[in-house]
């Protein structure tokens, strides 16, 4: 049995959701995951200040300063990739890429972008411009139905169950773990071989 395209989209959006939790941005935590055409994870990122730049609460609370310094999740994922990205897919949460990130994604050879929404009060003009850019550049943009339910991808898509809902405890190797930890461990299994992902271990 092979999993559907929709299942994989949800799976990687769930992963991007996990990654977004690392962001210190008090207003919007964004996550991005890049996968190749074999569904192998190539890179990931979340929004934050550049390495070494002080991410104090005062700076993060000052929107003009924050916008001037912050690196978007998508840009971070593009920058951290250790291989060419031609033909790869970019997954982003909680919304689609802005026009600047779209420009970089196009230049890096991303062929498809997947996000839960293309609507946002503050970013709508950016999103509309990004959509136009993707269309002109021949990059597919798929807005898919998605809710932040980290347990979804653990279910059998033909027989959904709520056995592993968020907040439920699990026993792994004699340790009781919250389901969010179990999800993180599963991500580690998926990300096996990508050393960067080891930072997800709690």
Least gap, CB of 18 to Zn ion (angstroms)? 19
Give the nearer residue to Zn ion in terms of CB position, either 17 or 92. 92
User: What is the CB neighbour count within 10 angstroms for residue 201?
Assistant: 10
Give the nearer residue to Zn ion in terms of CB position, either 99 or 154. 99
Alpha-carbon distance of 178 to 143, in angstroms, equals 30
Peptide bond into 104 cis (omega under 30): no
Least gap, CB of 72 to Zn ion (angstroms)? 3
Does residue 74 carry a catalytic annotation? yes
Residues that bind Zn ion (CB under 5 A): 72, 98, 101
Q: Which residues contact 167 (CB under 8 A, 6 or more apart)?
A: 178, 179
Least gap, CB of 97 to Zn ion (angstroms)? 5
Give the nearer residue to Zn ion in terms of CB position, either 18 or 72. 72
Q: What share of the chain is helix, strand, coil (3-state, %, to 5)?
A: 40, 20, 40
The alpha carbon torsion through 56, 15, 117, 140 (nearest 10 deg) reads 120
Catalytic residue from among 54, 58, 74, 121: 74
Least gap, CB of 109 to Zn ion (angstroms)? 17
Look at strands 89-93 and 169-172 and give their pairing. unpaired
Task: Name the nearest CA neighbour of 202 among 85, 159, 182.
Answer: 182
Give the nearer residue to Zn ion in terms of CB position, either 90 or 150. 90
Catalytic positions, written as ranges: 74
């Amino acid at each position: 049995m092979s999993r559907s395209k929709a299942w994989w989209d949800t799976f990687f959006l769930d992963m991007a959701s996990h990654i977004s939790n690392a962001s210190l941005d008090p207003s919007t935590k964004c996550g991005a995951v890049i996968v190749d055409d074999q569904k192998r994870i190539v890179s990931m990122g979340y929004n934050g200040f550049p390495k070494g730049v002080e991410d104090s609460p005062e700076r993060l609370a000052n929107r003009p300063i924050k916008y001037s310094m912050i690196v978007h999740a998508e840009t971070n994922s593009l920058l951290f990739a250790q291989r060419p990205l031609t033909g790869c897919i970019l997954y982003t949460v909680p919304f689609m890429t802005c026009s600047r990130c779209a420009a970089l994604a196009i230049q890096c050879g991303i062929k498809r972008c997947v996000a839960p929404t293309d609507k946002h009060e503050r970013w709508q003009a950016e999103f509309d411009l990004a959509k136009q850019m993707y269309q002109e550049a021949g990059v597919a943009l798929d807005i898919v139905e998605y809710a932040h339910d980290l347990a979804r991808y653990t279910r059998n898509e033909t027989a959904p169950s709520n056995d592993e809902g968020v907040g439920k405890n699990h026993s792994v190797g004699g340790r009781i773990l919250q389901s969010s930890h179990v999800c993180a461990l599963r991500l580690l299994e998926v990300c096996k071989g990508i050393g960067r992902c080891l930072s997800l271990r709690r």
